[in-house]
Structure 1
């Protein structure tokens, strides 16, 4: 029996989710469909390190959505290429006639300590996470700007996927942390640039049990089926916030970063000016050092980097 939408908060909207064949992306796609959205399910079907490719994961999610009475189509293009990103937008428009929400989620890991991190591993992770956010956002934004300039009302939403590693750093993940930090910067710029066209852009820093985090959460077992217990690390726990951010109900919320884990939602507050000193003239190195040490005494201590002792 098809699952009924719980509220229909996304009824009539067309939503694109990248990396939606498994894990968080799959959970987002199913959740959007359950709320009445028509979904474009993008996934290359690559391995955890980005190797290989298969259209099977995206197709399976499309079948799940259709079996529950929803509408979905698969897209197997590489969204870290201009051609793949353009075709992603084209599939949404060609299949459903519009595009309302873009959820950038695709990614993989190639973890190494910095001294062991190859240039290829750096480039590959930067490409899929950072370029894989930029290109779909660019082409979706161009469509929405054209719609706005043509006098049509736009209530578009973008949800980017950062990480705690991008906010605090994570030992052994220099490439991933840098890419996820870059996504926050991209989110802030896009929110500022696109607001005039009716586009809101936010980011999440999720924590859940997926292929990418199975070692991190190895000790956090899933709740037994039928037990009724809350599975704190289930990917679906993150999706309700993503669905709301991707809906018209989130009007007025843009340029924000949210951490989402289990039953907790946190608004993350980024860099803000802290203690300051102004000499009114150039410092000597010794004076600058003395001033910096005094300022640090009254500054808040940063949170620790993940994995640091």
Structure 2
């Protein structure tokens, strides 16, 4: 039995009625967290709404001995995002943990996808994250404590065909994560990104017969640590797929310095520019922006 509990903590989980979100709710709830299950009950495409899934999930949590309430507001609007945070404040008087797991899927080739299908996914994954983070961060910063877990994806890092809306949304979590971690550092507000791999209803239509076990319960413990008060990291990205856990990060080659360049010189030096035998990796919370500039400037002086 883990010693890491969530007694007294309030966790808001968007997309919390099904799949990964519900696995997170079950784990944190079993460890003492009071849960706000947010889910508007839409179809996987994001259309429609149904109060049933959130209510049923909250009822299942309560039946298991957890304190839980349902919220069926949509993350897709600023008003919905605020209402989701307000649901935690109204029910429990605080918000300590925000896990943004709400999602939808609409596929389309880059040269054929409609603006409606593009925007429908952006509104939930990208803008939805900001819509709940903005009011939650304000409360957490004022309280001097908070834990945020954003849902990224290897689809944001590496991407697949016919998924431009998903790829752009998930890669954007890196920037939002950095900002929460940097601006929350002096107020004990930490943020990290989970890049989960699990067979849920989002995998409908895919051939998963050759997949190893990939249940949502394999991802939940990583999220549990990132959401816990003892979480030792912030501004980082963690992969969890089929039992494998890894850290992902952005890096760059050492590169090449010249005091001036031509197009032909760039072409001639491209192999050296791309040479990854020496890598520079900066951490956003540990002055990554400044360190990047300092090392770049040092190269102009022959010091790096």
TM-score, scaled to structure 1: 0.86
Separation (CA, whole Å) in 2 of partners of 1:40 and 1:297: 48
Deviation of 1:182 (Å): 0.5
After TM superposition, list the pairs within 5 Å mapping 1:1-309 onto structure 2.
7=3, 9-147=5-143, 154-216=144-206, 218-220=208-210, 232-250=213-231, 252-270=232-250, 272-281=251-260, 283-296=261-274
Aligned to 1:53, what secondary structure does the other structure show?
coil
Aligned to 1:47, what secondary structure does the other structure show?
coil
Deviation of 1:218 (Å): 2.2
Give runs of ≥4 in structure 1 deviating > 6 Å: none
RMSD of aligned Cα (Å)? 1.7
Which 10-residue stretch deviates more, 209-218 or 67-76? 209-218
Deviation of 1:168 (Å): 1.1
Separation (CA, whole Å) in 2 of partners of 1:234 and 1:217: 15
Deviation of 1:203 (Å): 0.4
Deviation of 1:273 (Å): 2.5
Separation (CA, whole Å) in 1 of partners of 2:205 and 2:274: 36
Deviation of 1:293 (Å): 3.5
Q: Structure 1, residues 5-48: CA drift from partner, whole Å, max 9, x if none?
A: 85461111100000111111111111110111000000010001
Which structure is richer in relative contact order (CA contacts within 8 A, separation 6 or more)?
1
Deviation of 1:80 (Å): 2.0
- C-alpha change, 1:297 and 1:97, in structure 2 (3 Å) is closer
Tell me, yes or no, if the aligned pair for 2:152 and 2:173 is still in contact at 8 Å. Answer: yes
Aligned to 1:114, what secondary structure does the other structure show?
coil
Tell me, yes or no, if the aligned pair for 2:147 and 2:189 is still in contact at 8 Å. Answer: yes
Separation (CA, whole Å) in 2 of partners of 1:238 and 1:63: 23
Separation (CA, whole Å) in 2 of partners of 1:103 and 1:89: 12
Deviation of 1:211 (Å): 1.0
Aligned to 2:194, what secondary structure does the other structure show?
strand
Tell me, yes or no, if the aligned pair for 2:152 and 2:171 is still in contact at 8 Å. Answer: yes
TM-score, scaled to structure 2: 0.87
Tell me, yes or no, if the aligned pair for 1:220 and 1:233 is still in contact at 8 Å. Answer: no
Deviation of 1:220 (Å): 4.5
Separation (CA, whole Å) in 2 of partners of 1:235 and 1:166: 19
Tell me, yes or no, if the aligned pair for 1:49 and 1:108 is still in contact at 8 Å. Answer: yes
Separation (CA, whole Å) in 1 of partners of 2:164 and 2:148: 26
Separation (CA, whole Å) in 2 of partners of 1:265 and 1:274: 25
Separation (CA, whole Å) in 1 of partners of 2:245 and 2:189: 23
Gaps of 5+ in 2: 279-304
